[in-house]
């Protein structure tokens, strides 16, 4: 029986982890995800889970311990942010290439320097090509739901890849929300028992992991990672359908908000989608056909489905909460590539919110007004802009 509780994003993630009751959690604290292992360690201390909680000396060690535990056949989870994820990068790639279904919650935070503890997406975007499935969460409710589904997706033998569940640092990780959580028994039944096919402690079928892989086979093994990603698209929808049956909440690759008949649309990840919805409601009341596409699955990228969702829009703004210096924002690059063959759709890029810079409804309304001008003139001169920047001309100059 579901119940409604007040939890922050970090508490919601830790609550989901308690219900999952993983075999091993290895973690090292880093703001703003510190509370996740903190809350979970209390569950361990209180005997509410059977988990082996491993306190390590660094984030690199945390992921290394997760790799060892998962390779041995244990259901394994962790959490991190920012520099912690950056410190893991070496072994993050190893976790994926060894096809280990680790689930990691990421409280998105800016990458130094300068030192900054606030939210943007530069940490998870830096790992977008590491072979991890990436799910993004607008709210604490979505973070909770995504963590529960992530276990099923990662452990499906057709996938066997690790999953990051991302949410905005402080904005979502620390904000208290009223969310609906499932009964412990429902969760236990939904996730099932983890039965890995191949693992190091299986004496009846010994295997080797992390072996030297030279040119004759390396490419084929990497291609198999891609096959796992391809399979994840189907598995993700299967898991979401089953989850909807017990929760009443439907998840797909993305959320569409007033998009079907939209003339102008914004594409944005995580919590900023909520601000965008407020602006869309206002514009719709004025007769302006504005819409939103909020990706949930960023890896694997559902290219065909995104194209179908945006193909009738006249102008699109892709908002990136991270930058790719000397190029366009990472989300924009993917969306524009998907829509490249449709020359009638104008697509522009806004870099916003770096290091936690506030973005309010006025900024989002400006984006929509810019899109309306593009539709009217048929020209998109400023392909890449910085939204809400203090420098003179930051929003006006033509760039790239």
Question: pLDDT by residue (tens digit) across 332-355?
Answer: 999 999 999 988 999 999 999 999
Q: What local confidence, expressed as pLDDT, does residue 25 receive?
A: 98
Q: What local confidence, expressed as pLDDT, does residue 397 receive?
A: 43
Cα distances (angstroms) measured from residue 91 to each of 11, 322, 329: 26, 23, 25
Residue ranges of the chain whose pLDDT lies below 50: 396-400
Q: What local confidence, expressed as pLDDT, does residue 53 receive?
A: 98
Single out the residue of 152, 154, 212, 220 nearest to residue 187, CA to CA.
152
Q: What local confidence, expressed as pLDDT, does residue 299 receive?
A: 98
Please enumerate in sequence order all residues whose Cβ is within 8 A of that of 360, keeping only pairs 6 or more positions apart, or say none. Answer: 275
Give, rounded to a whole angstrom, the gap between the first and last alpha carbons of the chain.
Answer: 54
Q: What local confidence, expressed as pLDDT, does residue 210 receive?
A: 87
Structure tokens at 82: 């920012």
Q: What local confidence, expressed as pLDDT, does residue 251 receive?
A: 98
Instruction: Identify the DSSP state of 355.
Output: G
- DSSP string of 75-99, one letter each residue: -EEEEE-HHHHHHHHHHHHHHHHTT
Single out the residue of 152, 253, 150 nearest to residue 193, CA to CA.
152
């Amino acid at each position: 029986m579901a119940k409604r509780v007040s939890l922050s994003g970090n508490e919601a993630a830790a609550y989901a982890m308690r219900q999952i009751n993983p075999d091993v959690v290895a973690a090292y604290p880093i703001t703003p995800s510190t509370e996740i292992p903190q809350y979970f360690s209390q569950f361990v201390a209180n005997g509410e889970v059977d988990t082996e909680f491993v306190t390590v000396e660094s984030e690199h060690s945390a992921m290394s311990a997760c790799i060892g535990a998962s390779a041995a056949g244990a259901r394994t989870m962790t959490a991190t942010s920012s520099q912690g994820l950056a410190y893991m990068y070496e072994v993050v790639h190893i976790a994926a290439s060894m096809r280990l279904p680790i689930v990691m919650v990421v409280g998105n935070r800016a990458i130094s320097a300068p030192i900054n503890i606030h939210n943007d997406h530069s940490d998870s975007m830096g790992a977008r090509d590491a072979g991890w499935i990436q799910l993004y969460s607008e709210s604490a409710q979505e973070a909770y739901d995504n963590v529960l589904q992530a276990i099923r997706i990662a452990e499906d033998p057709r996938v066997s890849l690790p999953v990051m569940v991302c949410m905005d640092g402080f904005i979502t990780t620390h904000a208290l929300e009223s969310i609906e959580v499932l009964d412990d028994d429902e969760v236990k039944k939904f996730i099932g028992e983890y039965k890995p096919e191949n693992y190091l402690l299986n004496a009846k079928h010994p295997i080797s992991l992390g072996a030297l892989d030279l040119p004759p086979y390396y490419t084929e093994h990497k291609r198999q990672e891609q096959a796992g990603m391809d399979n994840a698209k189907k598995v993700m929808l299967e898991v979401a359908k089953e989850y909807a049956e017990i929760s009443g909440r439907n998840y797909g690759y993305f959320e569409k908000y007033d998009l079907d008949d939209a003339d102008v649309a914004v594409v944005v990840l995580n919590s900023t989608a909520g601000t965008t919805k407020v602006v869309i409601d206002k514009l719709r009341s004025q007769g302006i056909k504005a819409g939103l596409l909020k990706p949930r699955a960023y890896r694997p990228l559902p290219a065909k489905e995104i194209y179908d969702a945006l193909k009738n829009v006249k102008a699109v703004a892709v908002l990136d909460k991270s930058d790719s210096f000397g190029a366009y924002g990472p989300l924009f690059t993917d969306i524009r590539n998907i829509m490249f063959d449709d020359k009638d759709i104008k697509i522009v890029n806004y870099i916003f919110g770096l290091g936690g810079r506030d973005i309010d409804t006025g900024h989002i309304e400006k984006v929509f007004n810019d899109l309306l001008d593009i539709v009217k003139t048929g020209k998109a001169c400023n392909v890449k802009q910085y939204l809400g920047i203090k420098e003179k001309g930051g929003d006006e100059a033509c760039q790239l």
